[in-house]
A = this chain, B = another copy of it.
Amino acid sequence: MREQKPAVEFDTVPLSKREQILAAAREEFLEYGYAATTMDAVAARAGVSKATIYAHFENKQTLFGAMITNRCEQSFDKLPVPRGDARSLRTELHALGLMMIRLIYAPEAIALYRVVIAESARQPELGEIFHVSGPARAMASLTAYFQKLKDKGLLAIPDARLTAEMFVGMLKGQDYMRRLLNMEEGGCRPEDLVEAAVETLLRAYALQAEEV
């Protein structure tokens, strides 16, 4: 009798205990950091007992690692995949830049990055997990894009990978550091950096004059 399903099935699938715990862990860890987060707090937020957490995860470190992995997989699903065939290269690069800073500057992405940096000093595999499932994928995609532009004869760049790194670096500027440091905004606006980065790349390497 205890295993009986409810008479009425609802569309909203209830979260499994494991998912509840992971969600609670994410909120706690991202807000308070690893050390300042207590298993009691995670249990309370998840609505389960502490013992239940330990039935699903070996210990606090394991729970943290599971949360990071889970979060990275979800955050970077929606990668920007430019086609490289727009009529205006400038427009396409500009849209790509905006999409990337929106991904990179999302508050949750910043919080995740911050907590992974903090703990990677003690658990180096966390840095690897984060990088492989997030930034590395984005860089690979971006490198392929610039390679396509080069092959098409649109950009006279010497190395697609280097160009991708420089492009992302230019987009971040100082404002990214400021946000990691939990400061008020106050450097250059990210939108201005997108403008300037695209302008710089095109002036340096564009083969077809397409300035309007």
Give the number of copies in the complex: 2
A174 touches B122 (CB 8 A): no
Alpha-carbon gap, A199 to B166, bound state (A): 11
- Chain B residues whose C-beta falls within 8 Å of the C-beta of A139 in the assembled complex: 174
Alpha-carbon gap, A115 to B117, bound state (A): 9
Of the residues B122, B175, B182, contact of A124 by C-beta under 8 Å: B182
B162 touches A192 (CB 8 A): yes
Of the residues B122, B171, B177, B182, contact of A36 by C-beta under 8 Å: B122
What is the minimal beta-carbon distance from A93 to any residue of chain B, in angstroms?
14
- Whether A159 touches B196, Cβ cut-off 8 Å, given contacts A124-B182, A135-B174, A204-B204, is yes
What is the minimal beta-carbon distance from A50 to any residue of chain B, in angstroms?
20
Alpha-carbon gap, A51 to B122, bound state (A): 28
Alpha-carbon gap, A209 to B173, bound state (A): 28
What is the minimal beta-carbon distance from A205 to any residue of chain B, in angstroms?
7
| One of A1-9, A17-25, A77-85, A125-133 contacting the partner | A125-133
A181 touches B33 (CB 8 A): no
B169 touches A188 (CB 8 A): no
Question: At the interface, yes or no: A47 with Cβ under 8 Å from chain B?
Answer: no
Question: At the interface, yes or no: A48 with Cβ under 8 Å from chain B?
Answer: no
Query: Can you list 5 A-B contacts (CB < 8 A)?
Result: A33-B121, A127-B178, A130-B181, A135-B174, A200-B200
Interface set of A (CB-CB < 8 Å, partner B): 32-36, 111, 114-118, 120-122, 124, 126-128, 130-131, 135, 139, 158-159, 161-163, 165-166, 168-175, 177-178, 180-183, 187-188, 192-193, 196-197, 199-201, 203-205
